A and B are shown apart, each in its own frame.
Chain A
């Protein structure tokens, strides 16, 4: 046993060992915090050669000193300040960074209080084997703790503590290491004050830049090094850059302003068409706040939480209805000196001038007027590493092959992000690559944010690089499952089977034996993770018994295990065109939990007894063992159902299910459910190996799709009712709030003006009815188009905890049901796993784990899975878009002849200098831009183009046009983009 000695200080010294400080709580109270610290003498220094600390090293081996430095000895250690970790984390994590690092406990605490994510990254570094890191608990060590409360700031005490630790190390090592090769401890600091003090104390110190520059192998590291402002000033002494952006207000003032309602807080959301405009949705205004121009957006980056001051109403504007592309507008900017070029007025300057003179109220549609504001501060940055390309033109021409350090632009793949300026030595080799770039800071004197290169993902347009960049962009966790997670799987692995029936075995306890039931599953072709299976049969009393059987994932995934936490954090399986990123290890997803045919599987079953009108007479839930009799594709099931010669049990069952499903659907529609449209396309892959897309087609919907859907909805609703009854405060539910009526204003206006149609948005039923009437006999797909546009006006559905919101907001608007949850896909959605656990507890099968009784816990999970769900959808869509691009390329080059792809498209939005169109055949949206501004009527949503003969051709929203589609690689950034040009009614190639 370890000997424990507590060295409690005598009471007389209490005033020295106690640390006290005041803290202001979130509710505005002031709390005095008092901590007593027990100091000890046996804190290990972690230096390999040290003979004194051998006895109290703890479980970690000591670290050896680093070398390879031009200035410091072969055996030296660096001791960085908290700021170094906070700013240079990428550098420290880089595999090429090898010095031995001593992390002080006080430094760690400081990092934790300032950034939890960075703290976690450091923890990972310390736990990992690759780096030499030693944590020295200086605050618990008698000789190094800074005690007493000398007046001064916390920061001063912090710095003093670091110096004290360095001094102690020097002293300690001289004592313990007898040889003349005493290791050097190098303090890494960028703070001038600290440098001066360290000099006074006779310590060895240096800045991180100087240190890295002195390393013998530093090419990779210098690129990752974050430069914090000082460098630029040195290079251009005397020349003061003009301030481009207003200064941010101090944090305290921002919080006070937000609290008092003078300021508004929300997520910054840039306009995808115009990089000089952005939106912030705030609770106090029905419409989002509009931010126009660089100064008003004030260095906000997509996703940041910003504080906005609303301008007086006389200055409110509408969005400019113009497509402004950053790459075009700013193509002449020089990366080295991006301050506004004084001589030549660039496109952006012209734009902002126009903004100032024009934008008289007449120029915009008063319907579109939005409260307008300016960003006065950032509450929280949400910067992450961004996938970028290097802008070729920003390379100095002479240096396109040299390895000298140069400043270049990195253009993020996400169009809503600004270009990032980075300094790199490897610019030429990065040109054809997709790279990851982090933003470090954005000075008020610089038009662009400054960042640094993190790593390369691979060659542009290679599938691996594209896939990884999508996963990174949408924050999808794609690492393979770790050992601890895999250890949660059944030991039998692939050989696991349902044991022979025995009411004492864990598997069979309380389960119904449904192995004889004629159950089948209907899924898309190639489906490996079969969540659900169905059956139906006639009962003697003339009613129908229908059953939905869902994979019993909660039998394998237990709460609070590593596998459960991982699934909770992944939230959902992400489907890309050529890859599926699983939420659960594939042993479960595609085997043990997948309800494959002809094998016994554990299931969670929902039974209904339905009368001839498909009204529910009785509902029952049970855990069960099933053996599916068949796994159909939608098409197979449809063919079977339609084949009058087939009359086996399975086919009869499908027919029975189908009749009920039709009645259920009719009832749902009558209740006001919306039939929404979202474009879905299918990518044909050549073969599973090559995964080269051959073509794109729209997904076909069959009756059987609807059959499965109806029963899943019914199961979800029944389960939602049950768990809400059992756990009114913590039930995991899903809702879809009714959209604010103002969301539809623009669409309504367009419909009235363009088509003379009206849209009744008073309720979902009214909307459904009026959507049905939106028909243009000349344009069969007009209705679908309106549905797509209406869907975009709505809010997105979300998971929530039943105790967190009031009962009357539980409803699902789109489905027109008062309560809803997700239960039917536990293999690929975490919400369903929770619903399974709650239902299992509700039928007294298993007790509910305590964490599922905690509202706070559920709320936290809901927040995460809502976000993951959204991200997964976007990632999936982006993946489709990428493949559509590849397919288009393939199509245009088929047979060796280059042909242009032309498709029908519908105009969904008109701009001054362009139109946004929707190509239904490909399910993509595109932008046709014109070089010049044209006659634009914001009230009628039309833009008029000269046809060359002096006449104008007017194009309006909803018009059907023909567009030429080509995939073009941006010459500078290597970013592949779909380029569309109008082919009819007018050729826009030269416009």
Chain B
């Protein structure tokens, strides 16, 4: 990790307290965010997100699972498994074990937030009691120039936005109870049957499938870098090293209602966070998160509407 000397540290913090940042942003400004979806064509959904020089790629593979009780078996309503890999090139100063540790930490964070927002969902049940979708989301941090958390969630969110769940058709099967009810005037027994869906099939369509329901209300992550009495957003690498306390807030904004849901908070840093500070911070965080979520939704919709132009006829 690039070393920040004491004097540099004090220079950065003093400027931040005065609302001045090295790159000229205001404390609540993000660096440029760029988004690209569908970057991995074979994946069911994928995205690349860049926040300044921080770059994260996320890709989703959909699997069909048999529903069962075991730990590695599917659930009605679907299952999500997130895995984050931090590349050595993003963290040149980390040892391999430190990299693993960081990857695990980020994986469990992403997992805990997404599994609660995504499942259980009826959309992810294929055949009730039998088959369900399993969302396997992999994120790769290609470079970390500060604020990897927010970038990670932006990438994961965009990949989920890009996700298409293939159309499936349930296959019904009548089973008879073995009971024969007699009562017909001709004396012929009739079967009493009930129907049950036992399997599914893929219709012969070229379409990719349907987007995830409620994808525009997927959570965003806002990292509030705390430098009491003030705070700032989207820390660069030096800023992260000078200011060690951070409050992560995970908000989701169900559309179109104006409410918001706070899915989780996480505090990182050596100091304690006084309780009375929390409430105003959450309130500010909600504001920033809403702005970010709206900006992302707008951009993603725009990106998607750029449908490729139809081929011209020959001649």
CB closest chain-A residue, reference B131: A28
Q: Is the CB of B42 within 8 A of A24?
A: no
Stretch from B98-106, B148-156, B173-181, B274-282 contacting the other chain:
B173-181
**Cα of A612 to Cα of B203 in the assembled complex, Å:** 74
CB distance from A622 to the nearest CB of B (A): 55
A23 close to chain B: CB less than 8 A = yes
> Contact at A257–B64, with CB atoms within 8 Å?
no
Contacts of A18 in B (CB 8 A): 41
Q: Is B2 an interface residue (CB 8 A)?
A: no
- Nearest chain-A residue to B168 (Cβ)? A30
- Out of B64, B198, B311, which one reaches A260, CB within 8 Å? B198
Residues from chain A with Cβ under 8 Å of B66 in the complex: 28
In the complex, the answer to whether B62 meets A30 with C-beta atoms within 8 Å is yes
Knowing A30-B62, A32-B44, A152-B205 touch, does A147 contact B311 (C-beta < 8 A)?
Answer: yes
| A193 interface hit (Cβ, 8 Å) | no
Are A153 and B206 in contact (CB-based, < 8 A)?
A: yes
Contact of B198 among A153, A257, A314 (CB under 8 A): A257
Residues 32-51 of chain B, each 1 if its beta carbon lies under 8 Å from chain A, else 0: 00000010011110000000
Contact residues of A between 137 and 194, Cβ < 8 Å to B: 142-144, 147-155, 157, 168, 171
Known: A24-B201, A28-B131, A312-B180. A257 touches B173 (CB 8 A): yes
A-B pairs with beta carbons under 8 Å apart, 21 shown: A15-B308, A16-B308, A16-B311, A21-B206, A23-B202, A24-B202, A28-B199, A29-B64, A30-B62, A34-B41, A143-B315, A150-B206, A152-B205, A153-B204, A171-B314, A253-B171, A253-B172, A253-B173, A259-B199, A312-B180, A314-B180
Query: Digit string of B58-74 for contact with A (CB within 8 Å is 1, else 0)?
Result: 00001110100000000
List of A residues within 8 angstroms of B178 by Cβ: 312
Contact with A along B157-173 (1 / 0, CB 8 A): 00000000010010111
Q: In the assembled complex, which residues on chain A have CB atoms less than 8 Å from the CB atom of B204? A: 153-155
User: A256 to chain B: which residues have CB within 8 Å?
Assistant: 171, 173, 198-199
Could you tell me if B44 and A151 are in contact, using CB atoms closer than 8 angstroms? no
Q: Is chain A's binding surface mostly helix, strand, loop or mixed?
A: mixed
In chain B between 120 and 136, which residues have their CB closer than 8 angstroms to a CB of chain A?
131
- Interchain CA distance A344-B180 in the complex, whole Å: 34
A262 CA to B64 CA in the complex, in Å? 22
B208 at the interface (CB under 8 A from A): yes
User: Does A351 touch B at the CB level, under 8 Å?
Assistant: no
Interface range, A side: 35 or more
Q: Check A22 for interface membership: any CB of B closer than 8 A.
A: yes
Q: A144-B314, A154-B205 are in contact. List 16 more A-B contacts (CB 8 A).
A: A15-B38, A18-B41, A20-B41, A28-B64, A30-B62, A30-B63, A30-B202, A32-B43, A142-B314, A152-B205, A154-B204, A171-B314, A256-B173, A260-B198, A262-B198, A314-B180
Whether A6 is near chain B, meaning CB under 8 Å from some CB there, is no
Q: Which 9 A-B pairs have the closest CB atoms?
A: A256-B199, A143-B314, A252-B201, A256-B171, A256-B198, A22-B166, A151-B207, A252-B171, A153-B204
Q: Is A14 an interface residue (CB 8 A)?
A: yes
A14 touches B41 (CB 8 A): yes
The answer to whether A75 has its CB under 8 Å from any CB of chain B is no
Q: At the interface, yes or no: A770 with Cβ under 8 Å from chain B?
A: no
Interface hits, B184-204 → A, CB 8 Å: 198-199, 201-204
| B256 interfacial contact with A, CB 8 Å | no
| Docked pose: A15 CA to B66 CA in angstroms | 33
Task: Give 1 or 0 for each of B62-90: 1 = CB within 8 Å of chain A CB.
Answer: 11101000000000000000000000000
Q: Is the CB of B270 closer than 8 A to any CB of chain A?
A: no
Interface residues of A in 10-51 (CB under 8 A from B): 13-16, 18, 20-24, 28-30, 32, 34
Question: A148, B199: Cβ atoms under 8 Å?
Answer: no
**CA–CA, A250 and B174, complex, Å:** 13
Q: Closest B residue to A154 by CB, please name it.
A: B204
B24 located at the interface, meaning its Cβ lies under 8 Å from any Cβ of chain A in the complex:
no
Q: Shortest CB–CB separation between residue A264 and chain B, in angstroms?
A: 14
Check B205–A151 contact: CB distance below 8 A: yes
Chain A residues in contact with chain B, CB under 8 A?
13-16, 18, 20-24, 28-30, 32, 34, 142-144, 147-155, 157, 168, 171, 250, 252-253, 255-257, 259-260, 262, 312, 314
CB of B258 within 8 A of chain A? no
Number of A-B contacts (CB under 8 A): 90
Q: B310 an interface residue at 8 Å Cβ cutoff?
A: yes
Q: Which residue of B lies closest to A252 (CB)?
A: B201
B172/A30 in contact, CB under 8 A = no
Q: Are B63 and A34 in contact (CB under 8 A)?
A: no
Report the separation of the CA atoms of residues A151 and B210 in the bound assembly, to the nearest whole angstrom.
12
> Which of A14, A154, A257, A314 contacts B206, CB < 8 Å?
A154
Interchain CB contact (< 8 A) of A252 among B38, B199, B209, B314: B199
What residue in chain B is nearest A12 (Cβ atoms)? B308
Inter-subunit contact B173/A262 (CB<8 Å) = yes
Residues of the A chain whose Cβ atoms lie less than 8 Å from the Cβ of B202: 22-24, 30
CB distance from A274 to the nearest CB of B (A): 24
Within 8 A of A (CB), among B204-233: 204-209
| Nearest chain B CB to A37 CB, angstrom units | 13
Tell me, in angstroms, the Cα distance from A155 to B205 when the chains sit together.
Answer: 8
Nearest residue (CB) in A for B165 is: A30
Q: A168-B314, A252-B199, A312-B176 are in contact. Are A30 and B64 (CB under 8 A)?
A: yes
CB distance from B131 to the nearest CB of A (A): 7
- In the complex, what residues of A have CB within 8 A of residue B38's CB? 15
User: How far is the CB of A104 from the nearest CB of chain B, in Å?
Assistant: 16
Q: List, in ascending order, chain B residues with CB within 8 A of A29's CB.
A: 63-64
Measured in the bound complex, the distance between the Cα atoms of B314 and A168 in whole Å is 8
Provide the residues of chain B in CB contact with A14, threshold 8 Å.
41
CA distance A797 to B308 in the complex (A): 62
Give the shortest distance, in Å, between B171 (CB) and chain A (any CB).
4
Contacts of A168 in B (CB 8 A): 314
Residue among A18, A168, A260 with the most chain B CB within 10 A? A260
Q: Determine how close the nearest CB of chain B comes to the CB of A257; give it in whole angstroms.
A: 6
Residues of A near B311 (CB, < 8 A) are 16, 147-148
Question: Quick one: which of B42, B44, B131, B206 has the most chain A CB within 10 A?
Answer: B206
Q: For B176, list chain A residues within 8 Å (CB).
A: 312
Question: Which chain B residues border A312 with CB–CB below 8 Å?
Answer: 176, 178, 180
Cβ B42 vs Cβ A149 within 8 A:
no
Considering the complex, give the chain A residue whose CB is closest to the CB of B127. A256
Report B128 CB to chain A, min CB distance, Å.
14
Q: In the complex, what's the smallest C-beta–C-beta distance from A174 to chain B, in angstroms?
A: 10
Query: Smallest Cβ distance from A168 to chain B, in angstroms?
Result: 6
On whether the beta carbons of A151 and B199 are closer than 8 Å, the reply is no
Which residues on the B side are within 8 Å of A314 (C-beta)?
A: 180
B177 CB to nearest A CB, Å: 10
Nearest A residue to B201 by beta-carbon distance? A252
Chain A residue nearest to B176 (CB atoms) is A312
A contact residues around B201 at 8 Å (CB) = 24, 252
Q: Inside 8 A of A21's CB, which chain B residues have their CB? A: 206
Most buried by B among A18, A151, A171, A312: A312
Pick from A13, A21, A154, A255 the residue with the most CB of B within 10 Å: A21
- Residues of chain A contacted by B310 (CB below 8 angstroms): 148, 150
| Chain B residues, Cβ within 8 Å of A153 | 203-206
A173 → chain B closest CB, angstroms = 13
Query: Shortest distance in angstroms between B45's beta carbon and chain A's nearest beta carbon?
Result: 10
CA distance A394 to B66 in the complex (A): 56
CB proximity of A886 to chain B, nearest CB, Å: 52
CA distance A152 to B206 in the complex (A): 6
Q: Which residues of A contact B171 (CB under 8 A)?
A: 250, 252-253, 256
Question: Least Cβ distance of B170 to chain A in Å?
Answer: 9
C-alpha spacing A168/B315, complex, angstroms: 9
Task: Note all chain B residues with C-beta closer than 8 A to A252.
Answer: 169, 171, 199, 201
Taken together as a complex, chains A and B put the C-alpha atoms of A18 and B42 apart, in Å, by 10
> Smallest CB-CB separation from A22: which chain B residue?
B166
Bound Cα distance from A273 to B311, whole angstroms: 64
**Chain A proximity of B289: nearest CB distance (Å):** 32
- Known contacts A18-B41, A34-B42, A150-B206; decide if A255 and B64 are in contact (CB<8 Å): no
Instruction: Collect the chain B residues with CB atoms within 8 Å of residue A171's CB.
Output: 314-315
